[in-house]
Structure 1
Amino acid sequence: MTAHLPAPGSPASAGPTADLAARARLEAALLARRTRAPRTGVPRLPRGPGENEYPTAPIQRFLWDAHHADPGRNIWVVLGGVRVTGRLDLTALQRAFDLVVERHEALRTLYRTTPDGELLQVVQPAANYRVALRLHEMTDRQDEQELAAVLSGRFDLERGPVIRLDVLPLSEQEHDLALVLHHIAGDGATVHLIAEELAAAYSSFAADGAAPPLPAIGVQPADIAAWRSARLTTARRRELLDYWTGRLADLRLPAPPADRTPAAVLDTRGRTHQLRLSDTTLQALRRIGAEHSASLFLVTLAAFYVLLVRYSGQRANTVAAPVSYRDQPEFHRPAGALFDLMLLHTELTGDPRFVEVLAQVRDRTVDDFEHAELPYPEVVAALGYRPEDSHGLLQQVLFTEETDAGVPLPAGHALAGEVISAPPWHHALRPLTVRVTGRPGSTHIVVTHRLDRFSEQRARNIAADFVDLLDLIATDPTVRVLGSPALPALRAR
């Protein structure tokens, strides 16, 4: 059994963000350069026998506000999907799902506001909380509209649940399993964790009815939120505010080559297109990164900045990117929205070679990660923007690099699984999201776009332009990226 692991912030396969596990490894390495005092363990908050109320993390408040800013739609979600072949034991699957929900507080947390407007996360007692499987009657695997409707069902964050597991039978021996999680309850790494534990628990329950030995979970999202809040002292907050107001003083929103004029009313209808990156190019990009102390994320981010400049001529560009804080051992196991968003800014001058752009992007991005503790909504406020701009105006373009990993069933199990890599999720969180997504055996450029800004052909052309540029950089990383005659002609202009 395998599971599709999406990246936060991308609606074709995920929500503001993605599988963040690979990014967390990069960010942990960058954050290790900090010179501040070493971290201490995260204490657990007291728990009572009934409901337990705790303050939310800033990203949860951000996602609550984004969810309610457009009450008619349900786009802030993370998706996972697998097509399984073999006899499906629904009783074992329900027991496995029950166990996963019991283990992870984020999956049985509801949200409510106090009279003074504070948002609380309310953890439901495990003994009294159950999320039933949703078994559908569907036999036509070509009926994408019906499947899209299943995936698009709206969440009620006050009443719950914040997670759904839909079972869509195609035949007695074939089923689609669709995991839909509201982003307030988890990130892309959460989907991976759920899929991994669900597969292990299902195999155990189906085999002999016994619960599997799953790794212990030390701390939960409420503990982490309280710990992070306590660490952000007044002095450190002032230091971070000074950094970000200076760093983003010349913030410039990108001008990607949109070929449609948006309507006055928000339209989140979207599509996703992907184009494979050749193995030769990928290996060369990794080699270039190794030679210049840069990850694949930094190499491709530098190339993306170049592409934006080539499209518009605008030398300064600010893009959004998700940042994981699963950089401590205690943070590896719990489900939860353990990420934030950042605004990354770069300005190109002169006629630089790509390796010069890469060095600039690497150094500035490392500095940004060293100042990543300030919550994204506070950065937005410090820059003088309205709260609604945090998920609107400032989220015009998001870039990320991620890894989608498979989660196999234990050897010898009767079920076989095939990842649903492109579920029919026809929405877009923002006008344009570009992801470099690694899957077992291949890496793709994935472009998700709003239909009121970009036609499908324009989105395909953006993916093709990015692949062309990466192919050139892989061949010659010293190429002058703005004025060389070797630069490929742009399709999306």
Structure 2
Amino acid sequence: MTLDELLEHLAVHDVRLTGTGDVLHYDAPAAASGPELVAALRSYKGELLRWLTAPADEREVTRAPLSAQQERVMEVAARSAHPASWNVGLRMELVGELDVAALDAALDGLVARHHALRARLARDGGAWTQRILAHRSVPLPIVELTALAPDAARRRAEVVCQELVATAFTPAHDAPVRYALIRLAPGESWLVLVLHHVACDGRAVTVLLRELAVGYRTARDHGSPDFGPPAATQCTDYARWQQGQWDESTRRRRLAYWAEHLGDGPLALELPFDRPAPRQPSGQAATCRFEIPRPVRSAVEALARDRGVTVTAVTAAALALLFARLSGQPDITLSMPYANRSPQAYEDTVTVLATALPVRIRTGAAATFAQLVGQAADGLFAGIDNLLPTAWIYQQLATAGRDAAGRDAAPAGMTVSFAFQSTFDTRIDLPDLTVQVHEVPAGVGRTALIIALVPGPDGIDGYLEYPVDRIADGTARRWMAGYVDLLATACGGAHHPLADLRGSLV
């Protein structure tokens, strides 16, 4: 075992080291202790003691390249006028008897458990590198508002929450996670959790919330968190594994698929905006929330069963039809995130593994909505079969002269990102507490329309994030109401001629 391998082993298994003079002490979970660990610590005792004397913020335990997904986020975020648009913010409203010490210990344990939460990302000689620093405990920040009147406390809490979410990370120097507890009143608190998208996707957030519940419960009952076995895989493991996944022949074959699939169709939309594009966009974004009610959800699921496809394909086809009618463009390309949690070893890895697939839906080539659904399903499955880093696909288009904005640039103009978040589950069960979890938008956008659907207990919750420079609130609400209406109409008449399907916008 090399020193680097030992340091990574210590980080993965949460083995804590301290040094006093020339004496090295260690504290390890029972499952990580054993003769091999003791022998390695003895072998590298001098190096470890010197390592412990380095500043805590510079104690590196391992480093690795970035995965293609991490690199894509970093490249696009670096070009963004508002890097905070890549923040993922959650507000957990906690009502009941909160054990603050247990919550502090559980959050600290999550940071110790996952490399992605201790990573520093920067260019090293032109290539992106992630440095994983040793864990260093930081007390849970607490914002005390209990002395204020209830209404004033809530207003101040909203401000603090928004400031936490809207503050950009500097990935070269900051850990990609921050959190704080806001105490509004006795028995009422908010836990605000903010992650940089380079460290998470929807599935990773679900894993973190699940583990937070386990850590809180065990810390509350036993004084320290117990998450069970160490995390099976880390962001560094995935990045190293990914390096050998595409040989040159596979890469050429899959790029040829994307060239044929996207063809000469438009990647951006010309929508009936309320306002022309400003010379200097503000980057400000707003969120329109809507719901697909239970009867419409049932109709969507029935059509999906009848056609042997996923609900994602049905909802994507309806969205493509909506934007085709709004824009007058018969071909619509949706950027559709794919969870990409394969192979199974990486199912619960905390990092960003989701990959955006540009799926072209040709509304003019379908006679019925059922055919359009089949086309969307075929495009999704073929995209998964020909999975490549999104940057490579856009780089090929740039090389072919389709987009001169940069080597891995996204299409110029307004694009549409559509996510059916079936792996995103924000439910969390904490003893003696009622918990409600809300996503908190940063208030700045990514120069795209972002539409997400999240299955709820009854219907499907949805939101549209849109740029306020171009689109008015009333227009956003009208578009999404039209989408729900068109989805219901299309599922009810899936085998009728497509031109006969009417919605509230036409």
Q: Per the shorter chain, which TM-score range?
A: 0.7 to 0.9
Change (3 A) 1:287 1:263: same
- Shift in CA distance, 172/263, structure 1 to aligned 2, threshold 3 Å: same
User: C-alpha displacement at 1:440, in angstroms?
Assistant: 2.8
Q: What's 1:458 paired with?
A: 475
Q: Deviations over 1:83-126 (max 9, x none)?
A: 001232222111111111111111111112123x1110111123
Q: Contact 2:451/2:465 (CA < 8 Å) preserved in 1?
A: yes
* 2:416 matched residue in structure 1: 397
Deviation at 1:300, TM superposition (A): 0.5
Query: Is 1:180 matched with 2:194?
Result: yes
Contact 2:486–2:504 (CA<8 Å) still a contact in 1?
no
Match of 1:415 among 416, 433, 444: 433
Partner SS for 2:220: helix
1:168 aligns with 2:177: no
Which stretches in structure 2 are left out of the alignment for 5+ residues? 8-59
**Displacement of 1:154 after TM fit?**
1.8
SS of the residue 2:373 aligns to = helix
Are positions 1:107 and 2:114 aligned together?
no
Distance in 1 of aligned mates of 2:269 and 2:82: 28
Question: For the residues of structure 2 that align with 1:388 and 1:267, how far apart are their CA atoms?
Answer: 25
1:226 aligns with 2:235: no
Q: 1:262 aligns with which of 277, 282, 288?
A: 277
Cα-to-partner distance string for 1:453-480 (whole Å, 9 max, x where unaligned): 1111110011101011011123222232
Could you report, residue by residue, the CA deviation over 1:292-334 in whole angstroms, capped at 9, with x for unpaired residues?
A: 1111100011111111111122111212111221133211222
**CA displacement at 1:211 relative to structure 2:** 2.9
Distance 1:365 1:73 in 2: 29
Q: For the structure 1 residues 420 and 254, does the alpha-carbon distance in structure 2 shift closer, same or farther, using more than 3 Å as the test?
A: same
* 1:33 alignment counterpart: none
**Are 2:209 and 1:195 equivalent residues in the alignment?**
yes
- Tell me the distance in 2 between the aligned counterparts of 1:287 and 1:215: 41
| Larger RCO (CA under 8 A, 6+ residues apart) | 1
1:137-183 Cα offsets, whole Å, 9 max, x none, are 44521344443112111211111211011211111211111110001
Report the TM-score when normalising by structure 2: 0.81
Q: 1-side partners of 2:74 and 2:243: how far apart?
A: 18
**Equivalent-residue separation in structure 1 for 2:418 and 2:221 (angstroms):** 43
Specify whether residues 71 and 123 from structure 1 end up closer, same or farther in structure 2 by C-alpha distance, changes over 3 A only: farther
Relative distance call for 1:396 and 1:389 in structure 2 (3 A) is farther
Deviation for aligned residue 1:71: 5.9
TM-superposed deviation, 1:72: 5.3
Question: Which deviates more, 203-212 or 302-311?
Answer: 203-212
Question: Which residue identity does 1:397 align to in structure 2?
Answer: V
Q: Give distance in 2, aligned partners of 1:77 and 1:424.
A: 8
2:454 equivalent among 413, 418, 437: 437
**Matched residue SS, 2:256:** helix
> Is the 2:287–2:465 contact (alpha carbons within 8 Å) kept by the matching residues of 1?
yes
Letter in 1 for 2:133: Q
Question: Would you say the 8 A contact 2:62–2:133 is kept in 1?
Answer: yes
- Tell me, in whole angstroms, the C-alpha distance in 2 between the residues paired with 1:105 and 1:169: 29
Q: Give 1:382 shift.
A: 0.5
Structure 1 distance, partners of 2:408, 2:64, is: 27
CA apart distance, 1:48: 4.4
Shift of 1:259: 1.4
- Cα distance between partner residues in 1 of 2:475 and 2:80: 26
Q: Distance in 1 between matches of 2:124 and 2:425?
A: 40
CA distance in 2, matches of 1:197, 1:279: 31
Give the greater-gyration-radius structure (CA).
2
Structure-2 change in CA distance of 1:333 and 1:243 (3 Å): same
1:445–1:467 contact (8 Å) kept in structure 2:
no
Paired residue for 1:64?
74
Q: Which amino acid aligns with 2:260?
A: G
Displacement over 4 Å in runs of 4+: none
Alignment of 1:80 with 2:90, yes or no, is yes
The SS at the match of 2:409 is helix
Aligned residue identity for 2:86: W
Which letter does structure 2 place at the counterpart of 1:228?
A: Q
Shift of 1:225: 1.7
- Kindly state the Cα deviation for residue 431 of structure 1 after the two structures are TM-superposed: 3.1
Instruction: State the partner residue of 1:293.
Output: 308
Q: Say if 1:80 and 1:191, in contact at 8 Å, map to a contact too.
A: no
**Greater share of residues in helix:** 2
Q: 1:339 to 1:76 in 2, by over 3 A?
A: same
CA contact (8 A) 2:235 2:350 kept: yes
2 CA distance for matches of 1:68 and 1:217? 30
Letter in 1 for 2:437: V
2:490 maps to which residue? 473
Cα gap change, 1:395 to 1:320, in 2 (>3 Å): farther
- How far 1:341 moved relative to its partner? 1.4
- Pick closer, same or farther for the CA change 1:241–1:194 going to 2, 3 Å: same
1:86 maps to a residue whose letter is: G
Residue 60 of structure 1 aligns with an amino acid whose one-letter code is Q
In 1, Cα distance between equivalents of 2:240 and 2:99: 40
Letter in 1 for 2:256: D
1:93 aligns with 2:103: yes
C-alpha separation between the residues in 1 aligned to 2:195 and 2:177? 4
1:67 deviation in Å? Answer: 2.5
Partner residue in 2 for 1:375: 389
Aligned to 1:38: none
1:141 to 135, 144, 154: 154
CA shift at 1:46, angstroms? 6.6
Q: Structure 2 CA distance, aligned partners of 1:472 and 1:346?
A: 19
Q: Letter of the aligned partner of 1:160 in structure 2?
A: D
- In the other structure, the counterpart of 1:10 is none
Aligned-partner residue type, residue 141 of structure 2? R
Q: 1:387 to 1:168 in 2, by over 3 A?
A: farther
Q: Say if 2:82 and 2:444, in contact at 8 Å, map to a contact too.
A: no
User: May I ask how many residue pairs the two structures share in their alignment?
Assistant: 438
Structure-2 separation of matches of 1:314 and 1:327: 35
Offset of 1:391 from its aligned partner?
Answer: 4.6
Q: Match of 2:28?
A: none
Query: Judging changes above 3 Å, is the alpha-carbon distance between structure 1 residues 240 and 327 closer, same or farther for their aligned structure 2 residues?
Result: same
